[in-house]
Amino acid sequence: MKIPFNKPYITGKETVYIKEAISTGHLSGNGKFTKMCQHFFEHRYGFKRTFLTSSCTDALEMCALLLDIKPGDEVIVPSYTFVSSALAFVRQGAKIIFVDSRPDHPGMDENKVEEVISLKTKVIVTVHYAGVACDMDKIMDIATRHHLYVVEDAAHALNSFYTHQNGKKSPLGSIGHLAAFSFHETKNVHCGEGGLLVINDDCFVKRAEIIWEKGTNRAEYFRGDVNKYSWMDNGSSFLPSEITAAFLWAQLEEFDRIQEQRCEIWECYFNGLKQHCKNLDAVLPVVPDFAFNNAHLFYLVCRSSEVRNNLLTRLKKNDILAVFHYLSLHNSPYYRDKHDGRVLHQCDRYSDCLLRLPFYIGLNTQLVIEALIRK
């Protein structure tokens, strides 16, 4: 039996709600299902304002516009991340200053951030890898002292939390000034391709709505706040269709059940592999005390690239598709000649040694575990 890396979960209600959206005759977005999805996130997590987008990349590009990123501005980004974390700011002319990963986790090393801040630094982008929080107290303290904005790239981090030093728990995406989530088909809940911009600072709300609607005050017009709408600002077509929102709503209705099943899969992997790690020459994921595991993905960190490649081959022979993850952005063909030359050892180690295992609802983890440990 072939085991794919990912299998998008379908609740069964997606087509029902898509048909309902079609029947309303309003398909272009910001209709009933868009509003229902946005209310879900605002009510459940206390986000001040949310905007459904066509992708997480779109949400990050909106962040760059809202923060008025201009040529010459510097933006601090972890190197071990998806290209969108940096690209959204590069499009506005920013110079990306990459930061290494933690030795114990692929997320950014918070202790390396302050040393790369300059007078040109404007933003710190935190990426909550695998849904595991960065140390946000440390990041927000640095940002406050240096008068910087913080954008949380929470593409992996829906329904994950951070425990502050005072014991308070905050949902990821609610701590920085702005945040972005992903609903790509590989995420815990999805709509094929989609995203969400989160606004945590009231000063960005009005402009975000204009940028979201192609730089116009169209949303105000449809609310009856103005008698005509005009081109007001920079922007783009960030708003997804009602068909996309209807699909996502079907997923959100089943969100707790989806999360419960994903957590069970994660625990099966963890408990099933922990006694075999020494023989596999690999280590299990680490979740720091301040973080929470939302069961977004499961990975092993191998001792070397050779070990990882041998495990990939072993799984492939058993018709199981596992993959590596990011290649360090500071070494990418596009950005390597723009990087400042610092060697980021941990990022490169994860690029060479991290192995992602199949993860989806309905997965038989035992088959994967047996294939891994069988010589």
Does the residue 7 lie in any domain?
no
Q: Quote the pLDDT of residue 71.
A: 97
CA torsion, points 26, 30, 33, 39, in degrees to nearest 10? Answer: -160
Q: Tell me: the pLDDT tens digits for 134-179?
A: 999 999 999 999 999 999 999 999 999 999 999 999 999 999 999 9
Give the count of alpha carbons within 13 A of 47, CB side only. Answer: 30
Q: Is 27 helix (H, G, I), strand (E, B) or coil?
A: coil
Are 230 and 261 members of one domain? no
Burial class (CB in 10 A: 0-12, 13-18, 19+), 55: buried
Q: Tell me: the pLDDT tens digits for 229-275?
A: 899 999 999 999 999 999 999 999 999 999 999 999 999 999 999 99
Inter-residue contact 303 to 145 (CB < 8 Å): no
Are 157 and 62 members of one domain? yes
Does the residue 5 lie in any domain?
no
Domain boundary among the residues 253, 268, 288 is at 253
Beta bridge partners of 101: 108
Q: What are the percentages of helix, strand and coil residues in the chain, rounded to 5? A: 40, 15, 45
Domain boundary among the residues 227, 253, 279 is at 253
Are 79 and 190 members of one domain? yes
Are 332 and 239 members of one domain? no
Are 54 and 189 members of one domain? yes
Query: pLDDT band for position 121 (50/70/90)?
Result: very high
Question: Under 8 Å CB-to-CB from 111, ≥6 apart: which residues?
Answer: 138
**How high is the mean pLDDT of the chain?**
96
From the CB of residue 345, how many other CB atoms can be counted at a distance below 10 Å?
A: 11
Q: CA 61 to CA 63: how far, in whole Å?
A: 5
Q: Quote the pLDDT of residue 75.
A: 98
Q: Quote the pLDDT of residue 225.
A: 83
Does the residue 2 lie in any domain?
no
Does the residue 305 lie in any domain?
yes
Question: Under 8 Å CB-to-CB from 93, ≥6 apart: which residues?
Answer: 69, 70, 71, 72, 73
Q: Quote the pLDDT of residue 1.
A: 65
Query: Pairing between strand 161-163 and 149-153?
Result: unpaired
Beta bridge partners of 7: none
Whether the predicted pLDDT of 208 surpasses 90: yes
Are 198 and 299 members of one domain? no
Q: pLDDT > 90: what percent of the chain?
A: 94
Q: Quote the pLDDT of residue 220.
A: 83
Domain boundary among the residues 201, 227, 253 is at 253
Whether the predicted pLDDT of 195 surpasses 90: yes
Does the residue 4 lie in any domain?
no
Are 171 and 296 members of one domain? no
Are 80 and 145 members of one domain? yes
CATH (domain of 192): 3.40.640.10
Q: Quote the pLDDT of residue 218.
A: 84
Does the residue 204 lie in any domain?
yes
Whether the predicted pLDDT of 375 surpasses 80: no
Query: pLDDT band for position 219 (50/70/90)?
Result: confident
* Integer CA distances (angstroms), 238 to 11, 40, 201, in order: 26, 19, 20
Q: Tell me: the pLDDT tens digits for 262-295?
A: 999 999 999 999 999 999 999 999 999 999 999 9
Q: Quote the pLDDT of residue 46.
A: 97
CA 335-336-341 angle, to 5 degrees, is 125
Mean pLDDT of 108-129: 98
Q: Tell me: the pLDDT tens digits for 28-37?
A: 889 999 999 9
CATH (domain of 288): 3.90.1150.10
Beta bridge partners of 197: 51, 180
Residue 249 sits in which domain range? 14-253
DSSP letters, 92-146, are TTPEEEEEPBPSSSSSB-GGGTGGG--TTEEEEEEE-GGGPPP-HHHHHHHHHHH
Q: Tell me: the pLDDT tens digits for 44-62?
A: 999 999 999 999 999 999 9
pLDDT: is 227 or 139 the higher one?
139
Domain count, the chain: 2
Residues in the chain: 375
From the CB of residue 253, how many other CB atoms can be counted at a distance below 10 Å?
A: 16
Are 30 and 111 members of one domain? yes
Q: Tell me: the pLDDT tens digits for 300-337?
A: 999 999 999 999 999 999 999 999 989 999 999 999 99
Are 262 and 215 members of one domain? no
Are 123 and 247 members of one domain? yes
Are 181 and 77 members of one domain? yes
pTM summary value: 0.96
